[in-house]
Structure 1
Amino acid sequence: MTTPKISLREVTKTFPGRGGDAPFTALDGVTLDVAPGEFLALVGPSGCGKSSLLDLVAGLSTVSGGEVLLDGRPVTGPGLDRGVVFQQYALFPWRTALANVEFTLEAAGLGRRERTRVAREALALVGLTGFEQRYPHELSGGMKQRVAIARSLAYEPEVLLMDEPYAALDAQTRESLQDELLRIWRRTGTTIVFITHGIDEAVYLGQRVAVMTSRPGRIKDVVRIDLERPEDPDSDLRSEPGFTRYRRQIWELLHSEVRRAGELEEAGAR
């Protein structure tokens, strides 16, 4: 039996209360496996703990209970085996695209010539050949996110963790980057966990879609997406009947959770 690449076992995350408030439980008893090379999309209502879960896998935060395993070993902190891409590009404005990608390679101890070679290859992988010397203010939002993805892929992480990376982009750019990400995933075989609020995006990208409950976050269901993905770039998978069925299934799973999350917010505001 293949060891999961990522394994969460009864994971709980609690944050201390402030100003006399009770402790806040973001995640409660989350159990989930992600296979090596799998593309898993994660959806759930706002405030359900999706980002907290990603932080735990990234090693940016520690569990309050349960365990997070990578290749069967406990995650004890950040590592170069995991790359993270956030919604905000987090690029250094004083560095060129090439120098931004080289930054993580400096931490990995590569020499200058090797850093430049690897960074150029990573930018080529995301379709930015010719833009190596551009600064972030000279790039569009979509191009900035490509640089952020290239930076995370440059040191060849085994796992790529993506927290709503396309949320701030226009629809056309978002769809273009979705296709680009799928192309990169097929080429590299990287295990990807992708957080999104978009049901269409989750169905389009994920081999499986994990649906979370409202706070405290738990795994409500995991839907396997079994769609024939044509190689023809002009084909429209989103208009296929199967795509619509999966979208409806996930929407039905989410609908009651979104309503409950709204009720909790309203009660908390009183």
Structure 2
Amino acid sequence: MAKIVFEGVGKTFPAKNKGRDKGPDKGEFTALDGIDLEIGAGEFVVVVGPSGCGKSTLLDLLGGLSRPTAGRILLDGEPVTGPGLDRGTVFQQYALLPWRTALGNVAFGLEATGVPRRQRTDRAREFLDIVGLAGFEDRHPHELSGGMRQRVAIARALAYDPDVLLMDEPFAALDAQTRESLQDELRRIWQRTGKTVVFITHGIEEAVYLGQKVAVMTSRPGRIKEVVPVTLGERGPGLQGEDLRSSPEFARYRHEIWTLLHDEVARAQQLEKEEATV
């Protein structure tokens, strides 16, 4: 049985102005329409698509922050009806508490679940070590680089041991070198922990580098256009970083996904122009 199942999932929102996606009766626009997707336990699935296609909406629905208007989402065979400790989320913005140290930020989620002080401190240290921040436990967010702050956010999401890690463009605001370093770090963490990961990105290279599967979405209303399985030399220790990114296999997958996205990006841009003139 799949870990996560999207069955005919749709999501509409009230329309703020007239446009092509306005519903006939209720003044709605359709963000997602008929999403069908299965994700296995321990899989790393990346979702890519043009701006405005509903990628973040899809993640919000899986996180239980919003409810679908059609279809359903199953997690371990049970419908998702709200947030839960079985899912951890990492956003593009780090959302760290500025008055807390790195250790205190990671321990924060454990406090809310009633973990005893000594145990949560030990666990917070353990996960800061996992993300490569041993020795930085007492630093406040303003004393950390952007990449280090995002590592703290990842450690915080992992600390209470969720089954599923949801990541909404977590590296988008970082410089290229830091982004690639954290991609390597995330792959290592995923291989070590065996978490199921659903990762949203605009970056085709990031999608190919990280994903076992890449789900390509259409322009709005968002649908799953195609799911591309990615196998890159078994992703073993002998083929990492630049070696992997420069391989012929990598270039082939990148071109395949770019081809799938090209028309969708053009459609999204045309839709934006049409709506701007209405």
TM-score normalised according to structure 2 size:
0.94
Tell me, in whole angstroms, the C-alpha distance in 2 between the residues paired with 1:107 and 1:7.
29
Q: CA deviation at 1:43?
A: 0.2
Matches within 5 A, 1:1-270: 3-18=1-16, 22-228=27-233, 229-232=235-238, 233=240, 236-270=243-277
Match of 2:152, SS? helix
CA-to-partner distance for each residue in 1:87-126, whole Å, 9 max, x for gaps? 0000001111000011100111101111100000010010
- Give the AA of the match of 2:149: K
Tell me, in whole angstroms, the C-alpha distance in 1 between the residues paired with 2:70 and 2:46.
24
Deviates more, 1:227-236 or 1:114-123: 227-236
Shift in alpha-carbon separation, 1:70–1:234, aligned structure 2, 3 A: closer
Tell me, in whole angstroms, the C-alpha distance in 2 between the residues paired with 1:141 and 1:24.
36
Q: CA deviation at 1:73?
A: 0.3
Q: CA deviation at 1:17?
A: 2.3
Match of 2:178, SS? helix
Tell me, in whole angstroms, the C-alpha distance in 2 between the residues paired with 1:195 and 1:17.
25
Structure 1, unmatched stretches of 5+, are none
- Give the AA of the match of 2:88: G
Tell me, in whole angstroms, the C-alpha distance in 1 between the residues paired with 2:219 and 2:37.
17
Tell me, in whole angstroms, the C-alpha distance in 2 between the residues paired with 1:195 and 1:161.
8
Q: Quick check: 2:184–2:241 contact (8 Å CA) kept in 1?
A: no
TM-score normalised according to structure 1 size:
0.97
Q: CA deviation at 1:236?
A: 1.2
Match of 1:248, SS? helix
Match of 1:222, SS? strand
Tell me, in whole angstroms, the C-alpha distance in 1 between the residues paired with 2:110 and 2:81.
22
Tell me, in whole angstroms, the C-alpha distance in 2 between the residues paired with 1:234 and 1:246.
16
Report how many residues are paired: 268
Q: CA deviation at 1:227?
A: 1.1
Shift in alpha-carbon separation, 1:215–1:159, aligned structure 2, 3 A: same
Deviates more, 1:19-28 or 1:176-185: 19-28
Deviates more, 1:11-20 or 1:87-96: 11-20
- Give the AA of the match of 2:86: D
Deviates more, 1:105-114 or 1:10-19: 10-19
Q: Quick check: 2:96–2:153 contact (8 Å CA) kept in 1?
A: yes
Q: CA deviation at 1:19?
A: 6.3
Match of 1:24, SS? strand
Shift in alpha-carbon separation, 1:204–1:234, aligned structure 2, 3 A: closer
Q: CA deviation at 1:234?
A: 6.3
CA-to-partner distance for each residue in 1:172-230, whole Å, 9 max, x for gaps? 10000001001000010000000010000000000010000000000000000011124
Q: Quick check: 2:12–2:29 contact (8 Å CA) kept in 1?
A: yes
Match of 1:236, SS? helix
Match of 2:122, SS? helix
